[in-house]
Structure 1
């Protein structure tokens, strides 16, 4: 049975308390947060050090619903948000995001999300070091916690490196510059320096971090830091032009050989309401509707009428949807249509709704998406009143979710789009879910190692075995060989809605077969490679004159 232990509850209670501080924060790079904690009245025990970590981890509560998910999910071919009448139109924002026609006015949320974490980590490191220097705290207690904060800061910088490339490196709190500069005015040189910083911070931290995965749930431990380092190495060629496949394997082997993690019996166990007992989840945000609210997938994705299905206290917003292509990949795993395949005509038939006419095994992970007729908790057939799109039948009763999406920009039908069902929806909740949000997971360790082995030797038998281990858990037949298309497709099925798709598409650019980040898909034309990093937000450029905009913007 899955559960949140008492220690987990204590940790998320601490995180919940610091949210009042975080919500009052501004988004300046040199943000200062006042604190009642001083060296002479705190930091006397390990528990006091741990309880003070809340600010640095509290930032992670914005990872799913804010700008970070926009960047890593909605800019890809697996998530689309149709403008259904005036709902979700937002002056064309979501259409621009999915079609790579965004402007520098967008994506400030992802920037402030990550720098808020950096700033909080810097402040706490400063406080802990001051306590040690003043003789008010024992170095033996402070050093592992400082290393944990440095590893967490490196995690934030890893994502800044991935999304924006050449960003200011700020490690000071008391002496932080008002207008920090990027490492170089040259984008690629600056990105290399950020890469070097993240690598060194993680390498320095790992020997000092706890290897006890039970007591560090939801925190940076040795293996979470190794996973971050493996992510850095797996994408090193994108970041620096130099491959680091073997280095990625070394870190992944350390995780595997530890024996601390294993695949859960069922894929969906990892995303259950009480998923803190999963043997597979390595790094999570331990959301809780009382102590740490903010995970609102239930209202973000489901139809207005779905309130009656789950007896929610609030009406859902009818927004985020899985793409038709994503749904097809669960049923036709070797589908490689290039540009989005038009399996449906403009008016889908009853058979088209679920694509059940396709022969072969059906992937258990198809449960990530909700399609078909919808019912109330009492078993009554739900209807969808109102007409927004010209294709009136697509909006009318009865309510049926279809993978088909007719339009993104103006007249998306209200029931078009498979809804995101990856995380179990709890009956009777409001707008905050109790499921822990998964950032790193052991299945990804296996798939990452398989890819690194395959890139070194495309006939590697261990790589094939690792991928087939993941496929076996999903209830589908194994592959007889690995190709770039199969690896990328398997990552799409397994890692859907885990913030990896953008990174995966960019990393597989140039490999024969798979659709790439810059290729066309339904509603999107080919985009330039300069879109592989986001623009530095205009508001940041206006605030800090030392920042240099990324190429192509």
Structure 2
């Protein structure tokens, strides 16, 4: 993992070199790297692929807004004196986002920027002087990332622009149209088939490559894709293969997130960060999640407070079962003011809350896929095909047993489905799964009803106080069309061929 981090540090230069047109200069400098010469060797292609890994840091570090705070899991620490982010970040919490929302454009732009680098590197592989085995592995990694990003895009926007080759003519970008989600799913499936064949078994990864993608990650995404497409048989086939690869649950839930225990046996894929230094590979997400106005009680650094975003709701706090050890590991219900000695009941995410030596330089990785997720998805595939059986109970009860909870039994198919959604909410809390889980398992009517019920509850009993600021008329009113995000206006201005999602 340290080797990966070292390579990330200088790779922004690699991609920035190729942002201009090829004919920008009449005579290229023969001593300067350019797009045509850079991808010639294994070392250079390896650097480019590591650059794609590096881009995932920023993209993943922002997903909490779109997949947690959008839902009933988290909310904002309301700041009566600073309403600057009300039309932007807070618009996701209150479901007031629209096609002009800045963070909507950031999501769209960042993913497509990464996709451009993936497509460019893939297009250069054939010409590079690389060992065939390494070339196949690089292709598998790149195709996984493309599949992963297209999966995100479909869940957020539905039909999306599908690009699988570099754009050599800038004018072509202004004529692209959205492809049906079914066609995008087919492309994802194709990319994953290649990734699964090319990536190494997790048991065959050298110490220097720990943190890189494996066959387990590609099969996990494949299983999630087939679950989303309601092909539960194919989902189970993919996930069964993951279950046979030697992954296991850690005995202690807290160890899953401990930054001194990265890339452990439950981890299938996690985004690599490195804190404790000034190399620029630390994560910043936990500072977004700390409460405001704490003056160091939570961050551990005098005078330093958090962003107040992604605050656990009273709803999720109340959803933990009595005796569930995950609650204290995942959530703090407040902190003690060091000046007054009084308890301040502003909850915050505890799951990533670890001491670190340098202010603003925490060391946590971000989990993308882990084995607990696979076990719960396997239980889902069985239940959706034939109702719960001993195998399905075995999977969900492994997760519950670690949490010191009693096993489930004797449930109907609907009851098991409800129990499973609850278990996923608690086990995977604040890991960017909630929005996709709700979308996959609930009908549009059920999803709208759940969110509006949560909104009404939050209005009546706010997780954090609002002071003298009342709610706007449209706050916490979720409409069916908001299940899909709008295509950002800035994209449609430059390309009128991009249709807009209904309702925007």
- TM-score bracket for the superposition, by shorter chain length: 0.7 to 0.9
Partners of 1:88 and 1:26 in 2: CA distance: 36
**Could you say which structure has the higher helix fraction?**
2
**What secondary structure does 2:147 align onto?**
helix
In structure 2, what is the equivalent of residue 300 of structure 1?
288
Mapped partners of 2:17, 2:74: distance in 1: 31
Give the corresponding residue for 1:165.
158
- Whether the 8 Å contact between 2:167 and 2:173 is mirrored in structure 1 is no
How is 1:466-505 mapped onto 2 (pairs within 5 angstroms)? Answer: 466-480=395-409, 481=411, 482-505=415-438
- Which residue does the alignment assign to 1:83? 78
Query: In the alignment, which residue of structure 2 is the partner of 1:539?
Result: 490
Q: Residue 255 in 1 paired to residue 242 in 2?
A: yes
Aligned partner of 2:271 in structure 1 is 285
Question: Which residue of the other structure, out of 296, 307, 312, is the alignment partner of 1:322?
Answer: 312
3-state SS of paired residue (1:439): strand
Give, in whole Å, the separation in 2 of the partners of 1:437 and 1:24: 29
The 8 Å contact of residues 311 and 429 in structure 1, kept in 2 or not, is answered as no
Give the aligned partner of residue 65 of structure 2: 70
Is the 8 Å Cα contact of residues 448 and 478 (structure 2) preserved in structure 1?
A: no
Deviations 1:196-235 (A, max 9, x none): 1111111133112222453443333211111111111111
Q: How does 1:117-516 map to 2 (within 5 A)?
A: 117-131=114-128, 136-175=129-168, 177-184=172-179, 190-212=180-202, 214-215=205-206, 216-236=209-229, 243-259=230-246, 261-289=247-275, 290=277, 291-303=279-291, 304-305=293-294, 307-308=296-297, 311-312=300-301, 315-320=304-309, 321-330=311-320, 333=321, 360-374=322-336, 382-383=338-339, 397-402=340-345, 416=346, 418-480=347-409, 481=411, 482-510=415-443
Task: Please tell me whether the aligned partners of residues 275 and 436 of structure 1 are also in contact (alpha carbons under 8 angstroms).
Answer: no
* Contact 2:376/2:424, CA 8 A, preserved across alignment: yes
Q: For the residues of structure 1 that align with 2:445 and 2:156, how far apart are their CA atoms?
A: 24
What CA deviation, in whole Å up to 9, does each residue of 1:163-218 have, x standing for no partner? 1111111111153632252344xxxxx11111111111111331122224534433
- Residue 53 of structure 1: SS of its match in structure 2? helix
RMSD: 3.0
Shift in CA distance, 318/152, structure 1 to aligned 2, threshold 3 Å: closer
C-alpha distance in structure 2 between counterparts of 1:517 and 1:220, whole Å: 36
For residues 537 and 39 of structure 1, do their structure 2 counterparts lie closer, same or farther at Cα, with a shift above 3 Å needed?
Answer: closer
Is 2:290–2:298's contact at 8 Å kept on the other side of the alignment?
Answer: no
Do the aligned partners of residues 25 and 370 (structure 1) sit closer, same or farther apart at CA in structure 2, a change above 3 Å counting? farther
| 1:507 CA displacement | 1.8
**In 1, distance between residues paired with 2:238 and 2:187?**
18
- Looking at structure 2, the residues matched to 515 and 468 of structure 1 have their Cα atoms a distance apart, in angstroms, of 30
Matching residue of 2:9: 16
Tell me, in whole angstroms, the C-alpha distance in 1 between the residues paired with 2:100 and 2:220. 33
Check conservation: 1:313, 1:429, Cα contact below 8 A: no
Cα pair distance change 1:442/1:23, threshold 3 Å: farther
Q: What are structure 2's unaligned runs of at least 5 residues?
A: 21-28, 460-474
CA contact (8 A) 1:300 1:316 kept: no
Q: How many residues align?
A: 462
Counterpart of 2:469? none
How far apart in 1 are the matches of 2:84 and 2:401?
41
Conservation of the 8 A alpha-carbon contact between 2:283 and 2:361 = yes
Shift of 1:292: 4.7
Counterparts of 1:15-54 in structure 2 under 5 Å? Answer: 15-19=8-12, 36=33, 44-45=41-42, 49-54=45-50
The structure-2 alpha-carbon separation of the partners of 1:148 and 1:108, relative to structure 1 and needing over 3 Å to count, comes to: same
C-alpha deviation, 1:440, in angstroms: 0.8
Residues 41 and 109 of structure 1: CA distance in aligned 2, closer, same or farther (over 3 Å): closer
Deviation of 1:42 after TM superposition, in Å, equals: 6.4
The CA deviation string for residues 256-287 of structure 1, in whole angstroms up to 9 with x for no partner, is: 0122x111111111111223242111111110
Distance between the aligned counterparts of 1:516 and 1:262, measured in 2? 36
TM-score of the pair, normalised by structure 2: 0.83
Matched residue SS, 1:124? helix
Identify which of 43, 55, 59 aligns with 2:55: 59
Q: Is the 8 A contact 2:295 2:303 kept in 1?
A: no
Residues 509 and 516 of structure 1 are in contact (CA less than 8 Å); yes or no, is this contact kept in structure 2? no
CA distance in 1, matches of 2:38, 2:444: 58
Task: From the superposition, tell whether residues 327 and 210 of structure 1 become closer, same or farther in structure 2 (CA, over 3 Å).
Answer: same
Relative to the length of structure 1, the TM-score reads 0.77
C-alpha separation in 1, matches of 2:146 and 2:113: 10
Counterpart-to-counterpart distance in 1, 2:195 and 2:176: 25
Q: Are 1:96 and 2:25 counterparts?
A: no
Matched residue SS, 1:440: strand
Moved more, 100-109 or 300-309: 300-309
Name the structure 2 match of 1:550. 501
Instruction: Give distance in 2, aligned partners of 1:314 and 1:22.
Output: 37
